[in-house]
Amino acid sequence: LREILTAPTKEAVAGIVESHRGARSETEKVLLEEITDKTLTFQRDPRLNEALYPKITERGMNAILRSLGYSQGDVSFEAFVHYLWSAFCVDSPNIPEDRVADSMHEPLSHYFINSSHNTYCTGLQVKGAQLLSSSSHKETVADVEMYRQVLLSGCRCIELDCWDSSDGPVITHGPAALFGMNEIPLKDVCEAISECAFKTSPYPVLLSIENHLSQKQQKLMVQIFRDTFGENLLCDPLESHRLEEGQLLPSPYLLRNKIIIKAKKAKPKVNHRKGELTYVVYLHCGCSSSNSTDQESGMGSNLDTHTFLTLLNGEKNINCSIIHTS
């Protein structure tokens, strides 16, 4: 079977089909129209660019059959199986692994990386688009299953938007009161990632962390990463690639089966989800700076939203910033 998958021939396919034919009629045929339709419906990856990867037509399928050694219109079961194992099939596995591996020795930054934004989201993320009559998804939902699907489809960089909750770190789009999206536990997401990270590729998976966690829950996040990913989690620089000036990043080959964290340290703050904000408003003049104290800048107090917006609309020379308070 391995030989057939790497270099299928008409004779090899015929032998396999014959040994597994059973009660199937030797003269059974599949309509050319049917095989073309099934290929478009069930096999074609809907994410493919139609300009670079045109949809197959009956004429194109006939050309493929001729190139495989069958007469025009000969869509026997044997011919169909041969097509599935050939390089013409969209999901063909017959790309030699050594050819891929030979090109994976450059620094990681030299590659385009198949990446996902807001990986956890299903449905429409733009609120206005939900009003379109053609929309089949009227609600945006966070779903653990999305992480499995994107990893199995070959994605190597996925996003985790991490927020505080009473039960520990969760993945969601933002404060529930503002976005109205459900929350999924970070632990469940990490288990899904660990399950599927290297099923389709041994090359590294990058976790792009959007960190909105308090310091306490950041520690919980780190513990979840360590417990779930184990030795697959890259915690220290490779011996051959120390964090030194001028040092290039390791290659995908050296980072095989590794999970890499891409994140920034969050500034100390309280739970965003409570929405407790203090508006610091200060008058802008030639002698003051953004680092001035409340007294020096002329104004600084806790304001309600209406008063704050009124001030902004009425005074063009007011600068403002927002800080979180406990």
Structure tokens at 137: 């998804």
Question: Of the listed 117, 272, 306, 324, which one is catalytic?
Answer: 117
CA atoms within 13 A on the CB side of 284: 9
CA distances from 128 to 140, 143, 173, 184 (A): 12, 21, 17, 24
Residue with tokens 């596995």: 93
User: Of 121, 197, 195, nearest to 153 (Cα)?
Assistant: 197
SS3 295: helix
Is 241 assigned a catalytic role? no
Question: Of the listed 173, 212, 272, 284, which one is catalytic?
Answer: 173
Handedness of CA 4, 10, 16, 17 (dihedral sign): positive
User: Of 103, 179, 99, 102, nearest to 142 (Cα)?
Assistant: 179
What strands lie across the sheet with 170-171, from one edge to the other?
Answer: 184-185, 170-171, 157-163, 205-211, 259-262
> How far is Cα of residue 314 from the mean position of the Cα atoms in its chain?
44
Is 212 assigned a catalytic role? no
Check: CB of residue 142 under 8 Å from CB of residue 183: yes
How far is the C-alpha of 7 from the C-alpha of 34, rounded, in Å?
A: 26
**Catalytic positions:** 117, 173
